[in-house]
Structure 1
Amino acid sequence: MSRFRFSQINVFSADPLSGNPVAVIHGADSLSEKQMFALARWTNLSETTFLLQPDDPAADYRLRIFSPGGELPFAGHPTLGSCHAWLSAGGKPGKSDVIVQQCEAGLISIRREGSSLAFAAPPLVRSGPLEEDVVNKIANAFGLPLSDIVRHQWVDNGPGWCAIMLRSAQQVLSLKPDWAALSPLNLGVVGLHDSSHEADIEVRAFVGEGGYEDPVTGSLNASLAQWLMEENVVKSTYLSAQGTMLQRAGRIHLHKSSDTVWVAGEVVKVIDGEINL
């Protein structure tokens, strides 16, 4: 049995209990893929990550990301939480202005923005309008008339996201999924808030393959921003709210600099200890 440093990090909220947690295992090079997957099932969080030595000289560290269902090439809140854990444990980036994470999706740039961390949105691996049968499947899963889906798009940057936009944030908050009907789609739903709300949009993330709603989702917000900014639905800087129906208060700050969308949020360490495996 070996002992590893263990961190649990809250992402996208300064309140330790209002964002999305990720479990991080430090110095995990000796762990097998089977052990990583087993631990991800055991923590039962949406993601558990493993910090490894990089094999790309351009990277500061390598990250493997597991959900209870398997390995992911990229995920947003685990990226920020794992970077925070790496820095807190004494990690020193090779460059002064950026931290470079190596993961299955490639090299991800992360930077400090005051008390927040921000990652550069990776490129989409699939885009374009959803097929008619996919739109019909989504509408049926939520009991929505097709006329209420004002926009739709593939926004996949690794986890397989597709997305629809509804007429308002309130309509997004009212949704109740038929999980069996939605499976196996991973769906993001977005709606605009009126000007009185703190946030510009409301987001919900429905993971049809696992049958659960994710509290605050960096990868989805990244790809939504790329889509909605391109179509001039949102400004180049905006605030997204997520997790409301799960009694969370996730806040994701998105802004575009040159051709890069940056996804930023507060990151707070909640647990720091050791784990025996």
Structure 2
Amino acid sequence: MDGGGKPQHAEHLVQECAAGLVTVRRGEDTLSFAAPPRVRAGVLDDDYLKRIVSAFGVTRERVVTHQRVDDGPGWAVLQLSTAEEVLALEPDLALIPDAMVGANGVCPEGSEYAFELRAFAPGAGVPEDPGCGSMNATVGRWLTSTDPRALRLPGLAGREGRTGSEYPRARSSRSRRKRTG
């Protein structure tokens, strides 16, 4: 569209990326997509986890859990206890120059949002990605399969192949999902 092309359908377009063809749906003032399936999942190996922990400047004890949420680019994510810990990160990306990593943490009860997410992509030449759809989408899949708070989010049903706004969307320099109920 910005490149001069015209979509065949007003309500959606298909984007080709490393993960394959992704349908992007156009809403009134939003764009949303179905997360592609993960190409790799599971916990991180100890050496890679140690490198990320060191780069993030946290101790291993502060990591609640960790996961590969790789839908093509190679994302790895650490879950910290709180959103505040995620917001306080000042990673030394020189320690992980080829990495595609993120962090998420739970927002306090009563907050407008349930989770705080941040994506760092030095491996793609992007220190911090303010709106990383691929990481946010696969974190959404991961959270809905492991954290009951995520199941209360609008549309997050934790099933492969969901579409639309089921997955965390970017806002500001970080991604947040509104809390419900």
Distance 2:82 2:158 in 1: 27
User: Are the equivalent residues in 2 in contact too, given 1:222–1:263 (CA < 8 A)?
Assistant: no
Q: 1:214 matched to which residue of 2?
A: 129
Counterpart of 2:3 (choices 15, 25, 47) is: 25
Distance 1:183 1:198 in 2: 34
Distance 1:111 1:176 in 2: 34
Shift of 1:233: 4.6
Shift of 1:208: 2.6
Counterpart of 1:260 (choices 161, 168, 171) is: 161
TM-score by length of 2: 0.79
Distance 2:31 2:152 in 1: 16
What amino acid is the match of 1:121? A
Higher relative contact order (CA 8 A, sep 6+): 1
TM-score by length of 1: 0.54
- Percent sequence identity is 35
1:133 aligns with 2:50: no
SS for the counterpart of 2:31 is: strand
Distance 2:164 2:88 in 1: 26
User: Are the equivalent residues in 2 in contact too, given 1:218–1:263 (CA < 8 A)?
Assistant: no
User: Are the equivalent residues in 2 in contact too, given 1:255–1:262 (CA < 8 A)?
Assistant: no
Larger Rg: 1
Which runs of 5 or more structure 1 residues have no equivalent in the other structure? 1-6, 8-23, 28-85, 239-252, 267-277
Q: 2:146 matched to which residue of 1?
A: 231
Counterpart of 1:200 (choices 114, 117, 131) is: 114
Shift of 1:232: 2.7
- How many pairs align? 166
Which runs of 5 or more structure 2 residues have no equivalent in the other structure? 171-181
1:196-216, CA deviations, whole angstroms, 9 ceiling, x for partnerless residues? 221111111111322611112
Q: 1:158 matched to which residue of 2?
A: 72
